[in-house]
C-alpha cells in the first residue's frame, strides 16, 4: 500500500532532544516490505501462521444490508440505493460464504445495479465497510528481514539508527501517526511491527481528525460517529 511509507519524512524529528538536532530521511512510497497482506514483497517460500491476515473478506447478510441502508439516511430512498439493495438481497440469497473484495465488487458491477460503478469514493467505502468480515484474532504480520528488497531493509534500519544517534537510546522511541489514512487502524499493525523489527520502541500517535474532534467534544464514546462523518470510515 503506497500510503504506508510517506510518513517517513518527519517522524524522526519527534525523537530529537535538542532544537535543531533533528535529521530527516526521505523514503519513497513503494518500498516492498514483506507482510502477510503484501506477499509480493517477500522472499520466495515465506510461510505465515494461520493467524496472519492475508486479505479482507466480505459477506452479505440481511442484517448487514439493513445496517448499511440505515447509514444512508435520506439517500436510502434514492434510485441508486434501491438498485443496490436489490442486488445485495440477491447476493445474500446466492452466496452465503465470505468472498474477496474484487469478487464482491465485480458481482455488484455486473448486476443490474449499474450505478455501483458510478459511486463516489465515500459511498463506495461506506458500502464496502458495512460488508467487510471481522478479522477476529487475525492480523497483518510483518517480516521485515524476509523482504525481497535489501534496500527496503537498509532504509528502515537506517531510519532507526538515525533515531538512535539522536536520542542516545539503544531502542529509540518512535511515534507513528496513521492520520493520513482513511482508516487510521488499517495499517497500524504494519507500522508498529516494521519499526519494532528494525530495532525501535514504537508508539502509535492517534492524531486523526475524528479522534481530535471526539476528544475536543468530550465524546470519545461516539468516536465511530466522528469517524464516519469526518473520515468516511465505518466499523
Average pLDDT score over residue span 110-119:
71
Is residue 230 classed exposed, middle or buried when 0-12, 13-18 and 19+ CB atoms within 10 A define those classes? middle
- Confirm whether pTM is higher than 0.85: no
State how far the Cα of 180 lies from the Cα of 205, in Å rounded to an integer.
12
Residues 6+ apart with CB under 8 A from 141: 35, 36, 48, 49, 51, 52, 53, 189, 193
List the grid coordinates of 4: 504506508
**Radius of gyration of the chain, Cα coordinates, nearest whole angstrom:** 21
Q: Would you list the domain boundaries of the chain?
A: 2-53+141-204, 57-131
Percent of the chain having pLDDT more than 90? 66
Average predicted confidence (pLDDT) for the chain: 87
> pLDDT of 117-131, one tens digit each?
788 999 999 999 999
Q: Note the pLDDT of residue 141.
A: 96
State how far the Cα of 109 lies from the Cα of 86, in Å rounded to an integer.
13
At residue 3 the predicted structure's pLDDT band, cuts being 50, 70 and 90, is very low
At residue 21 the predicted structure's pLDDT band, cuts being 50, 70 and 90, is low
Average pLDDT score over residue span 107-121:
76
Q: Strand, coil or helix: what is 187?
A: coil
> pLDDT of 163-188, one tens digit each?
999 889 999 999 998 898 899 999 89
Amino acid at each position: 500500500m503506497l500510503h504506508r511509507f510517506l510518513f517517513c519524512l518527519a517522524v524522526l524529528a519527534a525523537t530529537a532532544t535538542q532544537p535543531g538536532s533533528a535529521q530527516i530521511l526521505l523514503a519513497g512510497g513503494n518500498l516492498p516490505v514483506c507482510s502477510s497482506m503484501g506477499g509480493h514483497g517477500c522472499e520466495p517460500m515465506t510461510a505465515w501462521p494461520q493467524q496472519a491476515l492475508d486479505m479482507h473478506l466480505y459477506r452479505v447478510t440481511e442484517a448487514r444490508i439493513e445496517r448499511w441502508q440505515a447509514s444512508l439516511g435520506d439517500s436510502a430512498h434514492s434510485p441508486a440505493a434501491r438498485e443496490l439493495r436489490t442486488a445485495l438481497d440477491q447476493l445474500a440469497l446466492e452466496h452465503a460464504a465470505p468472498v474477496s473484495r474484487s469478487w464482491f465488487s465485480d458481482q455488484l458491477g455486473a448486476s443490474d445495479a449499474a450505478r455501483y460503478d458510478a459511486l463516489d469514493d465515500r459511498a463506495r467505502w461506506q458500502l464496502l465497510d458495512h460488508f467487510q468480515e471481522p478479522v477476529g484474532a487475525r492480523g497483518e504480520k510483518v517480516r521485515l528481514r524476509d523482504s525481497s528488497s535489501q534496500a527496503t531493509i537498509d532504509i528502515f534500519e537506517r531510519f532507526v539508527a538515525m533515531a538512535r544517534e539522536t536520542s542516545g537510546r539503544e531502542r529509540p522511541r518512535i511515534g507513528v501517526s496513521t492520520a493520513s489514512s482513511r482508516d487510521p487502524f488499517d495499517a497500524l499493525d504494519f507500522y508498529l511491527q516494521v519499526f519494532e523489527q528494525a530495532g525501535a520502541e514504537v508508539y502509535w500517535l492517534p492524531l486523526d481528525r475524528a479522534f481530535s474532534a471526539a476528544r475536543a467534544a468530550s465524546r470519545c464514546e461516539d468516536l465511530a460517529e466522528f469517524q464516519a462523518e469526518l473520515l468516511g470510515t465505518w466499523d
